[in-house]
Structure 1
Amino acid sequence: MAHRRALCVGINVFKHLPTATLQGCVNDAHDMAALLTGSLGFAPEAVTVLCDRAATRKAILGQLQHLVKAALKGEVSELVFTFSSHGTQVRDLDGDERDRLDEAFCPHDLAAASEGWKPDTIITDDELRTLFSALPETVTLEVFMDTCHSGTGLKGVDPNLLLSPFQPRPRWLPPPWYAAPEPDRALDRPPERVRQPANQVLWTGCRADQTSADATFDGRANGAFTYHFLRALREGGPGQTRTALRDAVRARLKAAGFRQIPQLETDAAHRRRGVLA
């Protein structure tokens, strides 16, 4: 058990964007940490939780780099990273995205610039991919992203929804330069995907063309994906396959009236196993 470590991040409050406040992300982080140290058997000291002010870009990447270094030293065999916050986009600089936009994730210190987000206040999917690619094949990485991980097709999202505490809100921040996609960027085409390494498992709260909801359940705020993931896991037990768990979470969300469809990206072998098994 000493060889299992985790980082759980939840950000409700954004230093430079007070109107972008969310409600359930901090609860998500603590709930996922409780799952890990409870039924999944992680040692409490092996799980780090970063929330709000503590969850800056520097702190998040610093903790992830620390975990990767530990893995390279042979001190870690299983890593978990959970992230609940806003998703957004930045301009694609390396040409790996068909719509010329990179998926990005918002830390507490996110700040706008004239042409988008300040680079030193955002975390891109390319940065995470590069960081995690250094992991040895013997180390299993399981990532949970309860955030809108792409803005494809989101031209109808009203950022003013972020101001209302009375209804589910999308965990999505339009970039300062955001505009509807150009006609030649067909929205019915699937986004470019990098093949998931065999030792990595990625859970996302929605498809690339959807939003992940920040909602209230029985008077307590959570991400809709995180809330229903935890309950489906509790009902079916950690021994259920990841595919069965994904399907159970999807069914729960649909029954509750949410349109988002969680995604599971990994190889066939990991799909047939239980979470962190």
Structure 2
Amino acid sequence: DDDGDERYGDSPGLDEAFVPYDYMTAGLLVDDEIGRCCEEIPKGVSVTFFMDCCHSGTNTRFFIAGSDVQENGVKARYLPPSKDMIAAHRKARASRGLSRGVSAYKGKSEILFSACLSTQVAYETNGQGDFTRHSMDVLAQTNGQLTCRDFVDEVSRRFGARRRQTPDLVCDESLEDTALLAPRGQVDTSGPPAGDDSKSDRDGNLRDVLLEIRRLLENV
């Protein structure tokens, strides 16, 4: 933990981070940096995160090592940090002039759908995240016509009663009933009133976007 912000968090003394493909030269993407980006989001802009990675319940990733479980193509989605990885990150971080970070949810203006709780591991099967697979199925079958809470509840249900990971919704309570991927404040998911062609057009556009996202993810 470079700045002490994790002292009272889920992983005391440890920062969590993404590992980009060019991490040896550009460094890691630490949760503090994600928080700083969130603080710069202009007022009125809606941002939604879908995080299919370990310990993602606080919009962060790993640095909590464990065994790489593999059974029938199933394994945990994390990468234990090496000394070289950490050294490369600290060098890149220093060159960017980063110091103390800020919480990614200080203002609670963003919505995060996480693959698991912040204390859990996210799993993948045959190279595809289980959370991603279930999420794409739910989006395809509902055309995205759900509230944020309904969406995460439906995805969780598909993991079964004896699930190893529990998808979570992290946001301000006032946003839980917001329509999925809708501008903040739009909470009506009951369907368009008679003659409201504009909402039908928006629904069609959203459906097209969701289908394209699913196609791209299936080809990864």
Deviations 1:183-217 (A, max 9, x none): xxxxxxxxxx764534311111111111111113x
Question: Does residue 125 of structure 2 align to residue 215 of structure 1?
Answer: yes
The gaps in structure 2 that reach 5 residues or longer are 56-60, 84-102, 183-220
Q: 1:231 aligns with which of 137, 140, 143?
A: 137
1:175 shift after superposition:
1.9
Give the paired residue count: 154
Q: 2:155 aligns with which of 249, 258, 267?
A: 249
Q: Report the TM-score when normalising by structure 1.
A: 0.50
| Partner in structure 2 of residue 206 of structure 1 | 116
| Partner in structure 2 of residue 101 of structure 1 | 14
Letter in structure 2 aligned against 1:206: C
Q: Judging by fraction of residues, say which structure has more strand.
A: 1
Q: Retained in 2: the 8 A contact 1:110–1:121? A: yes
Q: Report the TM-score when normalising by structure 2.
A: 0.62
Correspondence list, 1:41-190, <5 A: 92-98=1-7, 99-111=12-24, 120-149=26-55, 150-151=61-62, 157-159=66-68, 161=69, 166-176=72-82
| Partner in structure 1 of residue 194 of structure 2 | none
SS at match of 2:6: coil
Letter in structure 2 aligned against 1:109: D
Letter in structure 1 aligned against 2:113: W
SS at match of 1:227: helix
* Structure 1 residues 196 and 233: alpha-carbon distance in aligned structure 2, compared to 1, 3 A threshold: farther
Q: Judging by fraction of residues, say which structure has more helix.
A: 2
SS at match of 2:155: helix
Deviations 1:13-41 (A, max 9, x none): xxxxxxxxxxxxxxxxxxxxxxxxxxxxx
| Partner in structure 2 of residue 264 of structure 1 | 169
Query: Using the alignment, how far apart are the partners of 1:245 and 1:123 within structure 2?
Result: 27
* Structure 1 residues 172 and 248: alpha-carbon distance in aligned structure 2, compared to 1, 3 A threshold: same
SS at match of 1:231: helix
* Structure 1 residues 110 and 250: alpha-carbon distance in aligned structure 2, compared to 1, 3 A threshold: same
Query: Using the alignment, how far apart are the partners of 1:236 and 1:197 within structure 2?
Result: 30
Backbone CA RMSD of aligned residues: 2.4
Q: Retained in 2: the 8 A contact 1:196–1:266? A: no
Q: Retained in 1: the 8 A contact 2:49–2:112? A: yes
Q: Retained in 2: the 8 A contact 1:139–1:199? A: no
Query: Using the alignment, how far apart are the partners of 2:142 and 2:5 within structure 1?
Result: 38
SS at match of 1:202: strand
Query: Using the alignment, how far apart are the partners of 1:158 and 1:248 within structure 2?
Result: 29
The gaps in structure 1 that reach 5 residues or longer are 1-91, 112-117, 178-192
Letter in structure 2 aligned against 1:213: Y
Letter in structure 1 aligned against 2:39: S
1:103 shift after superposition:
1.1
Bigger-Rg structure (1/2): 2
SS at match of 1:206: coil
Query: Using the alignment, how far apart are the partners of 2:175 and 2:78 within structure 1?
Result: 29
